Amino acid sequence: MDTRIPTKIAIVGAGAVGSSTAYTLLLRERATELVLIDVNADKARGDALDMAHGSPFYGATKVWAGSYEDCAGADIVIITAGVAQRPGETRQALLDRNAVIFHAILHEIVKYNQNAILLVATNPVDVLSHLSWKLSGFSAERVIGTGTLLDSARFRYFIGQQLNVNPRSVHAHIVGEHGDSELPVWSRTNIAGVPIDLPESARATIFENTRNAAYEIIQAKGATSYAIALSIDRICTAILRDEGAVLNVSTLLNDYHGISDVYMGVPSVVARDGVREVIDLQPTAAELEQLRASAQVLRDRIAAVESLHPDWF
């Protein structure tokens, strides 16, 4: 008998990220119900059937393809829908097209569920998370972007490779925009509390590899999917288990070293009700200058969307 507390996750978008996320959540048995929603209903139905046919080999999770009505009762609604990032295209070049898509999606979601946590993965994730907060009417704590969680994982991976240490033992953060203006917080990077001593050339290479990782993958196979799915799974787990886990998600900042009214990736405590608090990394003056510059990049893009669509707000 399934003794898990009933939980439901809805995924809007059954592309590479949405389907990989659904499969990851299914294998790890994060929810008792998992519904896929996509404008391409056949694709969502095919993915759901493909997973459901393997049910003799996993737990009792019910997985199916549905419509926006099926967002009702979901604990978490994950949004991965949107146009794909093209080879050589920046995340921010996606903004205008995906903003229009999000406007329509959020209108449908809030019709049927006003109590869920919204988890945004579509790029550019920081601006779209801010837009989701504004359009949904939800409290900022319950609108979360995947932020720089994956960037930080990549950063830890490359540091681990450089030092021949398991990346799980590397404590390191990428903060700011999930994109080209992000920055590494080298001043707080450590292994078992011991600061990492690397020459500047090695640091530059590690960060360059981190920042360009998505572009390399997109060039090679067309889209990123597996690592972002694991990142989404990690956030969902922190929420559903009320973990109070510190994760570098995109959240609304309020006087974070003078930065306000912008969503960006910073270490945050994630629990059952969403983002409980933001952790102050105490960056150096140089790091803080970069973080403020990243915030300004995002503010400018938010302002551009709002000026294009004043009737939305």
Tell me how far the alpha carbon of residue 66 is from its chain's centroid.
Answer: 23
N-to-C CA span, the chain: 48
SS3 at position 51: helix
| Separation of alpha carbons 247 and 21, rounded Å | 18
Check if the beta carbon of residue 97 is closer than 8 Å to that of residue 122: no
Which tokens go with 279?
Answer: 């952790």
Check if the beta carbon of residue 289 is closer than 8 Å to that of residue 172: no
DSSP structure string for 67-128: -GGGGTT-SEEEE--SPPPPTT--GGGGHHHHHHHHHHHHHHHHHH-SSSEEEE-SSSHHHH
Phi/psi of residue 110, nearest 5 degrees: -70, -15
User: Could you tell me which residues come within 8 angstroms of residue 267 by beta carbon, excluding any fewer than 6 positions away?
Assistant: 173, 175, 246, 247, 248, 278, 279, 281
Catalytic residue numbers, as ranges: 178
Q: What is the dihedral of CA 98, 100, 104, 109, to 10 degrees?
A: 40
